[in-house]
Amino acid sequence: MAVSALSYIISSYPVRCAFPGSNHDPNKQKLRYVGNSTKPAKVDLLSQTAGVASTFVASVADQKLYMNKVQIRQNIPTKKQFVDPYRQGLIIEEGVGYRQTVVIRSYEVGADKTATLESILNLLQETALNHVWMSGLLSNGFGATHGMMKNNLIWVVSRMQLQVDHYPIWGEIVEIDTWVGASGKNGMRRDWLIRSQATGHIFARATSTWVMMNEQTRRLSKMPQDVRTEISPWFIEKQAIKEDVAEKINKLDNKAKYAISGLKPTRSDLDMNHHVNNVKYVRWMLENIPDQVVQSHQLSGIILEYRRECSSSSIVQSLCEPEEDGILKDGVKQDSSLTLLNEFSFPSEIMEGGGLIGSFEKEPVRYTHLLQIKGESVNEEIVRGKTTWKKKLPSVPFSS
């Protein structure tokens, strides 16, 4: 590669030579003054070319040395591994699934000492990448295989769904299982299960759909045959969340009840593929949820449908609309199908106790979301979403 590049530089450089005995030659080298000398000094352009070429070869060599050092530091496996003692990971499920044992760190929990939604999403991403790492297929890309790198392809998520029954607490040890399967002709499905190592209870389950995009053109691509050959032996016909028909998410407009405008990504929001990480999208969405809901409820489900990328220069608007069949009013769940409360007056002990209102509060609260790029004439969708919120439960509902 260095030789061909070097040949190109020399052949394309404007070198002109003067032949001896020629009185006039239009290709004769020009003269220029160097320093304070009053005499013209001939500059050998071929020597300059050689100098540029030498510098280029040196830079290529330096780059190769740097990449070798990076590979040594990362220690990316070139063949399938079954145990990773550093990440507490191992291959399971007939040699194609992956399990990682994780301790919930102090910086992964919120004020209630339970893992945040963002932390869970980050753990899903990390275990997915570690799964590819253990497979021996990982190249230099962000989860990209050798075949994908050869075709300038990267993974992008098109849909993700997460269901949370219970959030792990600070210091708790959890096991995260992940595996992949086919999704249509050109996509891949990745699923996860998060369970307590102590009790075996399933805390959360997630599923996602991934497609390939050309890193240079930023357009979706079909899956090349060599990539299919790489990843298809790892496919499992198993689903963490069974969904016969994907739930439809309606598009919101500017009439949405809650809206936050002027959101802009920062440099720290970009991932290794140079687009805004999906965890940032979730953060923008949840900013619209009313405080009284966040204080009394916890997110039990989220569905995300990704439409386009968001660049560092984008100005983003976050829209949110509660579902009509039940919204929170003054922190209390109201059901629009019941008119009883509007027509009758109940004693305060019933209203404040666990009677009728208590039964209402057990029903989930749901919101529809939209993130869009604000344009002068047209707004472009980034991601549609739907969140489900349930009444908060005690932090430790299970005994060992």
Enzyme catalytic residues: 273, 275, 310
Cα–Cα distance, 61 to 53 (Å, whole number): 12
Distance of alpha carbon 143 from alpha carbon 223, whole angstroms: 15
Q: Which residues, including other chains, have CB under 8 Å from residue 34's CB and lie 6 or more apart?
A: 41, 43
CB 314 within 8 A of CB 284: no
Structure tokens at 5: 């590049």
CA proximity to 199, closest of 360, 50, 387, 400: 400
Q: Which residue in this structure is represented by tokens 């439809």?
A: 248
CA distance 114 to 108: 8
Q: Is residue 388 a contact partner of residue 304, using CB atoms and an 8 Å limit?
A: no
The 3-class secondary structure across the chain, one letter per residue, is CHHHHHHHHHHHCCCCCCCCCCCCCCCCCCCECCCCCCCCECCCHHHHHHHHHHHHHHHHHHHHHHHHHHHHHHCCCCCCCCEECCCCEEEECCCCEEEEEEECCHHHECCCCEECHHHHHHHHHHHHHHHHHHHCCECCCCCCEHHHHHCCEEEEEEEEEEEECCCCECCCEEEEEEEEEEECCCEEEEEEEEEECCCCCEEEEEEEEEEEEECCCCCEECCCHHHHHHHHHHECCCCCCCCCCCCCCCCCCCCCCEEEEEECCCHHHECCCCCECHHHHHHHHHCCCCHHHHHHEEEEEEEEEECCCCCCCCCEEEEEEECCCCEEECCEEECCCCCHHHHCCCCHHHHHCCCHHHHHHCCCEEEEEEEEECCCCCCEEEEEEEEEEEECCCCCCCCC
